[in-house]
Every structure is written in C-alpha cells, then in structure tokens.
Amino acid sequence: MTSRAEILTAARRLIDRDGWEKLTIRRLAAELGIGATTLYHHIRDKEDLLVQLLEHHISRLQRPQLPRDPRDRIVAAATAMHDALADWPWAAEVLTTDGFVGLLDESALWMVEAIVAGADDHGCTPEQSVHVFRSIWYYTVGEILVRAHTARRLTDEKLPVFRDSFDASQVPHLAAVSKRWRALAVRDTYAEGLRAFVDGLLARAASATSDGVG
C-alpha cells in the first residue's frame, strides 16, 4: 500500500539526489519499489503529481511578518514568492499559467493576497491591483526561469555560453559593455528590479486614477 505522503517524499528524494529532470513516472515508481502503472492508482497524471508536490512545498513555508506600509508589503510578499520558487525552478515551469492561482490552496494564496491587498491599500482600483500582481508575477517567473536555465547551461559542458565580442560599428553600446556583461549578468538583481517595478506600477496607477482614467 502506497500513500500520498510516501509518493511525495520519494519524489523529493529523487529530485534532491538526481535533479529535477530525472523525476519521471517510471523512475519514481522504481524509487518506490512499485510498477510504473501502479502509480496511476494514486495520481491522476504527471501534472497532478507536480501540482501536489508544489502545494506540499509551499504549505511548509513559514509566513513572514509583512510590513505595514503597502509598498513594502508588496515587495516583501513578492520576494517571499520569488525565494520560494527560486529553490524550485521546476515549480516555476508548473506555474507558468495565469490560472495557477486557482490551482493552489489557501496555504499558498497569502502571497497573492498580500500583493493585491498592498496595491488596494495604496489606493489602486481592483483592475490596477490585479495588473500590479500580474506584472510582478511575469517579472518573477521570467527571472527564475532565465536564471535556472542559465545555471544549467553554465554547469553543462556545452560550450557556447556567450560570445563576448560584438561589432562596434553595428552595436556600439553592446560592444562597450561586452567585456563586463558576463560579470554583470551573473549578479542577483531581482530585488533591485522589483523595487523599481513596484515604484513604477504604483506611480502609474496613482496618476491614472487622479486623471480619471482607468
């Protein structure tokens, strides 16, 4: 008899040991010592497994104390969301869907709620608040996916990482930074970009509202 808990634990073990790419139905079944086909009595399909795994991961996250200031609260919640997913880049792939919010249970929704609430409290209309959340979500998911894929590319022995010379007559500004690009691209600037984005989103929302637009 195989339980839900056993399956999720084995899946985590498999990911931690062999990497996310190696989590397949067949390998997971082998890890559990059962036939691949037996697994289908406990999960609907592979996506169902991934959603359950993600839900389990997020549910054990401790909820941080959020700042009172709406802007800071948005930043803090977005950062928590980012950090939760940064360790689990495959989760970001699962979540690349606007409907992801509907897939998660309440234990994960507080992050979405905090961002929408922060925008509301700052004076955004409901439309604007949803827009604030979606924009931040796009930025966050993009950052995680790009960084995860880059890390894989750098650790793989596949060589063509980055051409670091450019035709100065065609792309002068790129040519000027080309030698430093690699070092700069490796820096973690998520938080910096996030703050800039939140500033811009809230400023635009405020001016749109005062203009009577929106």
Which residues of this protein are in contact with DNA, per CB under 7 A?
Answer: 1-2, 22, 24-27, 34-38, 40-42, 45-47
The partner in contact with residue 63, picked from DNA, a copy of itself, none with C-beta cut-offs of 5 to 8 angstroms by kind, is none
Q: Which of residues 1-40 bind a copy of itself (CB under 8 A)?
A: none
Nearer to a copy of itself, 54 or 116 (CB): 116
Token couple for 32? 């559990």
Binding mask 166-205 for a copy of itself (x = CB under 8 A): xx--xxxxx-xx--xx--xxx--x--xx-xxxxxxx-xx-
Residue 52 contact, options a copy of itself, DNA, none, Cβ 5-8 Å cut-off depending on partner type: none
Q: How far is the CB of 5 from a copy of itself (least distance, A)?
A: 23
Cβ-based nearer residue to DNA, 33 or 212: 33
Least Cα distance to 51 among 97, 13, 117 occurs for 97
Nearer to DNA, 47 or 164 (CB): 47
Which residues lie near a copy of itself (CB under 8 A)? Answer: 96-99, 101-103, 106, 109-110, 112-113, 116-117, 120, 126-127, 129-131, 134-135, 137-143, 145-150, 153, 160-164, 166-167, 170-174, 176-177, 180-181, 184-186, 189, 192-193, 195-201, 203-204
